[in-house]
């Protein structure tokens, strides 16, 4: 980092230290306030969220506005909860497990694991849990998008790695992920964001075709990993860890492309299920369906000729 970036990093650390003094109750209040401010002062995001909910969940405008406003508050809380990662984990009194038997199965699993999650609920605190699921030297890794500002990136990374999980930038993650999976590690991916056509498998998601990142599916198939859908849901002043039965990619049949598509479809459907159960906790202000599948000019000309 440059001198200016180091200064900003230390300022961010100081601000983070002050905000941590508010604890979980204070952070919830500040997060809700942040969400309301975003709702008020970013009308384009507000309209995008409301229209997304109306279109993809079939809600009335009034219902969609209520859900979207709650979503903004949850998003505000998620952004600030990154400051509390060092205070949260497997032994936190605020944590509840929705399916203890599945959790036991996860903790006893000695296979490579791809954890598929989303911008849903408390996704930052989820990294704290994943960092404590297994003891070193078993790898615990989360693939994330890096920030361009080095000071911000260093600060965010220090928060996210507070409980043992390593953060890996998504652009150069493949080899690190493969090495971690070969050592029977757990690697988490956010699989609900829009992606470029070159990285996408186009699959149904909330009643519309979406560009789904096929990277996690490809890496899971290569490593013969289990794909485990997981999220951390807020319930009042507690956090509830939800997980679904995993997909064993070693049992998939067909070509490599067919196996990758099956794995991507599996985690896309799992995330959709979580969203439908608690739609107010998803990141609706994101333009999830922005990337469209292109039809080839040849196909278009052929169709025109037949017409």
| Gap between the Cα atoms of 134 and 118, Å rounded | 21
| Gap between the Cα atoms of 211 and 191, Å rounded | 10
Q: Does position 247 have pLDDT exceeding 50, yes or no?
A: yes
Residue 292 lies in a domain: no
- Partnered with residue 143 across adjacent β-strands are 168, 189
The distance from CA 112 to its chain's CA centroid, rounded to whole angstroms, is: 19
Cα Rg of the chain (Å, integer): 20
The answer to whether 173 and 143 have CB atoms below 8 angstroms apart is yes
pLDDT class for 297, splitting at 50, 70, 90?
A: very low
Residue 305 lies in a domain: no
Residue 304 lies in a domain: no
pLDDT class for 76, splitting at 50, 70, 90?
A: very high
CA distances from 128 to 76, 85, 140, 173, 244 (A): 18, 6, 10, 20, 19
Going by DSSP bridges, is the β-strand pair 113-117/226-235 parallel, antiparallel, or unpaired? Answer: parallel
pLDDT score, position 298: 40
Q: Does position 302 have pLDDT exceeding 50, yes or no?
A: no
| Gap between the Cα atoms of 243 and 100, Å rounded | 10
Work out the average pLDDT over 95-106: 97
| Gap between the Cα atoms of 73 and 37, Å rounded | 9
How many domains does the chain contain in total? Answer: 1
pLDDT score, position 120: 98
Residue 60 lies in a domain: yes
Residue with tokens 């997909």: 247
The answer to whether 273 and 233 have CB atoms below 8 angstroms apart is no
Residue 303 lies in a domain: no
pLDDT score, position 303: 40
Between 300 and 205, the more confident residue is 205
Give the residue numbers spanning the domain of 131: 3-281
Residue with tokens 């975003």: 38
| Gap between the Cα atoms of 139 and 246, Å rounded | 19
Q: Does position 259 have pLDDT exceeding 70, yes or no?
A: yes
pLDDT class for 295, splitting at 50, 70, 90?
A: low
Among the listed residues 40, 22, 31, the one whose alpha carbon sits nearest the alpha carbon of residue 74: 31
Between 131 and 71, the more confident residue is 71
Residue 7 lies in a domain: yes
Among the listed residues 129, 74, 70, the one whose alpha carbon sits nearest the alpha carbon of residue 97: 129
Q: At what angle do helices 23-41 and 61-81 cross, to 10 degrees?
A: 130
Residue 286 lies in a domain: no
Work out the average pLDDT over 81-97: 95
| Gap between the Cα atoms of 98 and 88, Å rounded | 17
The answer to whether 229 and 274 have CB atoms below 8 angstroms apart is yes
The percentage of residues in the chain with a pLDDT greater than 70, rounded to a whole number, is 96
How many Cα atoms are found within 13 Å in the side-chain-facing hemisphere of 111?
A: 19
- Partnered with residue 238 across adjacent β-strands are 235
């Amino acid at each position: 980092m440059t001198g200016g970036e180091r200064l900003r990093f230390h300022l961010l650390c100081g601000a983070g230290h002050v905000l941590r003094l508010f604890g979980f109750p204070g952070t919830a209040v500040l997060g809700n306030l942040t969400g309301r401010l975003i709702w008020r002062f970013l009308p384009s995001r507000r309209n995008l969220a409301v229209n997304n909910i109306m279109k993809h969940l079939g809600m009335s405008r009034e219902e969609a506005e209520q859900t979207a406003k709650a979503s903004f508050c949850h998003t505000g809380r998620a952004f600030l909860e990154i400051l509390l990662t060092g205070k949260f984990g497997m032994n936190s009194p605020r944590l509840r497990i929705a399916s203890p038997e599945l959790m036991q199965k996860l903790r006893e699993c000695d296979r490579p694991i791809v954890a598929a999650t989303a911008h849903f609920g408390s996704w930052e605190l989820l990294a704290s849990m994943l960092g404590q699921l297994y003891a070193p030297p078993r790898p615990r890794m989360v693939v994330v998008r890096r920030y361009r500002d080095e000071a911000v990136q260093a600060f965010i990374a220090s928060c996210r790695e507070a409980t043992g999980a390593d953060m890996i930038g998504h652009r150069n993650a493949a080899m690190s992920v493969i090495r971690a999976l070969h050592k029977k590690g757990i690697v988490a991916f956010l699989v609900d964001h829009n992606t470029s056509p070159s990285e996408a498998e186009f699959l149904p998601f909330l009643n519309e075709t979406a560009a789904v990142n096929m990277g996690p599916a490809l890496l899971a198939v290569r490593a013969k990993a289990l794909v485990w859908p997981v999220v951390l849901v807020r319930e009042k002043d507690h956090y509830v860890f939800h997980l679904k039965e995993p997909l064993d990619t070693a049992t998939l049949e067909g070509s490599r492309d067919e196996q990758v598509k099956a794995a991507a479809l599996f985690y896309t459907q799992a995330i959709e299920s979580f969203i439908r159960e608690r739609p107010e906790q998803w990141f609706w202000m994101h333009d999830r369906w922005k990337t469209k599948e292109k039809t080839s000019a040849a196909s278009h000309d052929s169709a025109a000729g037949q017409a």
